[in-house]
């Protein structure tokens, strides 16, 4: 069996046909993890005994039965898989019940055997949390970041440890690692996936779970088995017409595609990122879509300032609840600089100012919705630059606002992704270009609110026209350097 040549869908078919066992696939995943993780530091929490026990007890007869899988070390709460949440403050957090999304993943038959590295409490476009003893590195170039906050999942999937892994996305945290690691990442419409029972919503509705995959069909399958509201959800996404996998069965109708080669505020991007967007536009035109230059007219900087305030308040709440639950004060080294800065910033935000920030996010969503009355898809680069070098966005600094909003901050580096966390629209990163140095550069596609199936169909069409599955990083034995 050529483990690297198969996505999760194909591996599940082998198990269903009796041509491979879940234990054999887990052996392959663990062998690959041992071979690469000394370099990558992508999977700090390994639960092999738990995975073996679940296999021995009998896996559910789901569509992904027997496929090895990893949870991000943030969210996806599960009784059998304690978490650090990327933080020394939250080391070995244990849960008294399973989250709805984990229950759905387990019911699909996946074999979870570890948790992947994330930055502390999910803040930032890199994965360099102190709790893991060092940064998580990119298998395409270990001097570069795999992105964040689902960077451990991105690195593990790109390195072939698993064909797919769980992530989450509150400002691009699935799409940024997808771009940085040469993978496919899809952020669904707000509330498409369940948040309960531990939360009603994340970051005022801007955060949602997702997946890092090598194939579009794996993301479609994972979204099909996890989508839909859970018990007591405060609001629901518009129902799907047929489902994500069904959307891949036929190409999309000719679409009106808006091409934005700059940031949303009109600033230039790295030439490789601009070239990626231009090449994607040419491909879409060849596929029969109408491509025209256009840039949304909205208060993008105001949106990002509001996003920054909301995330600061969410960070402060998480820290306060953890400290109160254990009953003793916070120690100086338990929280890193950026999170300390976020909590300090939150203390200056009154209740009415917080609600004002939420209102600005909603106003931004309404303004962006007007743009999508005239366009079906917005095409941009995923990032303004190729993957950053390790250390550039380290979490040791305390000026949280400058970290996010400064001239060399996160917003300048990732000016596209958070917009669609604010609007709640579906968005995806597709790996279509590699730099001369072999670094992946993603292309970002966003669709109107609720049009997840349209976007998935377009991504499938792009994959068929410009396949990327066989491009493997040099770190992988036998892999080809792109």
Q: What is the pLDDT of residues 374-424, one digit of tens each?
A: 999 999 999 999 999 999 999 999 999 999 999 999 999 999 999 999 999
- Write down the catalytic residue from 118, 150, 173, 215: 173
For the chain, the average pLDDT equals 97
pLDDT at 64 over 90: yes
- Name the one residue in this structure whose structure tokens are 């026209």: 465
Site of tokens 């604010």: 422
Question: Does residue 144 register a pLDDT over 80?
Answer: yes
For residue 313, tell me if it sits in a domain: no
**Residue 53: predicted pLDDT:** 98
Please tell me the distance from the alpha carbon of residue 10 to that of residue 16, in angstroms, as a whole number.
10
Determine, yes or no, domain membership for 475: no
**Whether residue 215 lies in the annotated active site:** no
SS3 177: helix
Q: Is 99 in the active site?
A: no
Torsions phi, psi for 78 (to 5 deg): -150, 135
Percent of the chain at pLDDT > 70 equals: 99
Residue 249 in tokens: 């069965």
User: How far is it, in rounded angstroms, from Cα 51 to Cα 25?
Assistant: 11
pLDDT one-digit tens code per residue, 277-334: 999 999 999 999 999 999 999 999 999 999 999 999 999 999 999 999 999 999 989 9
Alpha-carbon distance of 430 to 463, in angstroms, equals: 8
pLDDT on residue 76: 98
Structure-block tokens of residue 430: 């597709």
Q: What share of the chain has pLDDT > 90, as a percent?
A: 98
| Within a domain: 474 | no
Alpha-carbon distances of 14 from 6, 29, 51, rounded to whole Å: 10, 15, 19
Residue 476's pLDDT is what?
86
The 10s digit of each residue's pLDDT in 460-469 is 999 999 999 9
Residue 346 lies in a domain: no
- Reported as a pLDDT band with limits 50, 70 and 90, residue 478 is low
Separation CA 244–CA 426 (nearest Å) = 12
332-366: burial string, b at 16+ Cβ within 10 Å, e else: eebbbbbbbbbbebbeebeeeebeebbebbbbbbe
Active site residue 187: no
Q: What does the alpha-carbon distance between residue 149 and residue 176 come to, in Å, rounded to a whole number?
A: 8
Residue 477 pLDDT > 80, yes or no?
Answer: no
Band (480; pLDDT cuts 50, 70, 90): very low
From 54, 72, 150, 187, the catalytic residue: 72
Backbone phi and psi for residue 72, each to the nearest 5 degrees, phi listed first: -65, 145
The residue segments making up the domain with residue 447 are 3-298+364-465
Measured CA to CA, the distance from residue 60 to residue 64 in angstroms comes to: 9
By the 8 A CB rule, do 439 and 287 touch? Answer: no
Into how many domains does the chain fold?
Answer: 1
Q: Is 473 contained in some domain?
A: no
CATH number at residue 134: 3.90.1300.10
pLDDT of residue 481: 40
Residue 142 has pLDDT above 60, yes or no: yes
How many Cα neighbours within 13 Å face the side chain of 459? 34
The confidence score (pLDDT) of residue 332 equals: 84
DSSP 311-362: HHHHHHHHHHHHHHHHTSPPPTTSS-HHHHHHHHHHHT--HHHHHHHHHHHH
pLDDT of the residue at 375: 98
Both tokens of 267, joined, read 């600033």
Distance CA 226, CA 20 (A): 25
- Domain assignment present for residue 400? The answer is yes
Which residue reads 């999760």 in tokens? 8
Does a structural domain hold residue 233?
yes
Could you report the per-residue pLDDT of 96-117, keeping only the tens digit for each?
A: 999 999 999 999 999 999 999 9
Q: Tell me, what's the pLDDT at 482?
A: 36
The mean per-residue pLDDT over the stretch 11-34 comes to 98
Q: Is the dihedral of CA 244, 245, 249, 251 positive or negative?
A: positive
Buried b (16+ CB within 10 A) or exposed e, 277-291: bbebbebbeebebeb
d(CA 151, CA 116): 8
- From the candidates 83, 99, 118, 149, which is the catalytic residue? 149
Q: Strands 184-187 and 111-116, how do they pair?
A: unpaired
Give the global pTM.
Answer: 0.98
191-239 pLDDT per residue, tens: 999 999 999 999 999 999 999 999 999 999 999 999 999 999 999 999 9
373 in any annotated domain: yes
């Amino acid at each position: 069996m050529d483990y690297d040549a198969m996505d999760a869908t194909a591996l599940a078919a082998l198990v269903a046909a009796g041509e491979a066992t879940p234990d054999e696939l887990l052996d392959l995943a663990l062998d690959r993890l041992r071979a690469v993780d000394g370099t990558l530091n992508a999977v700090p929490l390994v639960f092999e005994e738990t995975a073996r026990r679940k296999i021995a007890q009998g896996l559910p007869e789901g569509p992904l039965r027997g496929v090895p899988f990893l949870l991000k070390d943030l969210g996806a709460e599960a009784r059998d898989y304690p978490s650090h949440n990327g933080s020394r403050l939250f080391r070995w957090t244990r849960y008294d019940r399973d989250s709805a999304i984990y229950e759905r993943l387990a019911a699909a038959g996946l074999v979870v055997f570890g948790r992947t590295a994330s930055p502390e409490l999910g803040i930032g476009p890199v994965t360099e949390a102190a709790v893991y003893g060092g940064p998580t590195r990119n298998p395409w170039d270990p001097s570069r970041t795999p992105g964040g906050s689902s960077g451990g999942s991105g690195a593990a999937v790109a390195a072939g440890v698993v064909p797919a892994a769980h992530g989450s996305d509150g400002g691009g945290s699935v799409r940024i690692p997808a771009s940085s690691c040469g993978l496919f990442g899809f952020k669904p419409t707000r509330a498409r996936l369940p948040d309960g029972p531990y939360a009603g919503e994340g970051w005022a509705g801007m955060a949602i779970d997702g997946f890092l995959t090598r194939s579009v069909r794996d993301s479609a399958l994972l979204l099909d088995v996890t989508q839909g509201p859970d018990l007591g959800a405060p609001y629901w996404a518009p129902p799907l017409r047929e489902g994500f996998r069904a959307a891949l069965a036929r190409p999309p109708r000719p679409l009106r595609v808006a091409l934005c080669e700059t940031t949303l505020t009109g600033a230039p991007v790295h030439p490789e990122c601009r070239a990626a967007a231009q090449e994607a536009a040419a491909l879409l035109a060849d596929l029969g879509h109408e491509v025209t230059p256009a840039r949304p007219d909205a208060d993008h900087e105001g949106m990002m300032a509001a996003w920054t305030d909301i995330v600061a308040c969410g960070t402060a709440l998480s820290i306060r609840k953890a400290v109160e639950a254990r009953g003793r004060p916070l120690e100086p080294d338990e929280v890193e600089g950026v999170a300390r800065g976020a909590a300090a910033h939150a203390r200056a935000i009154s209740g009415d100012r917080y609600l004002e920030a939420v209102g600005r996010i909603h106003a931004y969503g309404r303004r962006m919705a007007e743009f999508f009355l005239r366009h079906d898809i917005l095409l941009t680069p995923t990032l303004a630059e190729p993957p950053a070098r390790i250390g550039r966005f380290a979490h040791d600094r305390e000026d949280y606002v400058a970290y996010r909003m400064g001239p060399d901050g996160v917003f300048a580096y990732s000016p596209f992704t958070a917009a669609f966390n604010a609007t709640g629209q579906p968005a995806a990163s597709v790996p279509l270009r590699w730099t001369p140095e072999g670094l992946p550069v993603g292309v970002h596609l966003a669709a109107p609110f609720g049009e997840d199936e349209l976007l998935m169909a377009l991504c499938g069409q792009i994959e068929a026209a410009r396949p990327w599955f066989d491009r493997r990083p040099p770190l992988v034995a036998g892999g080809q350097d792109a």
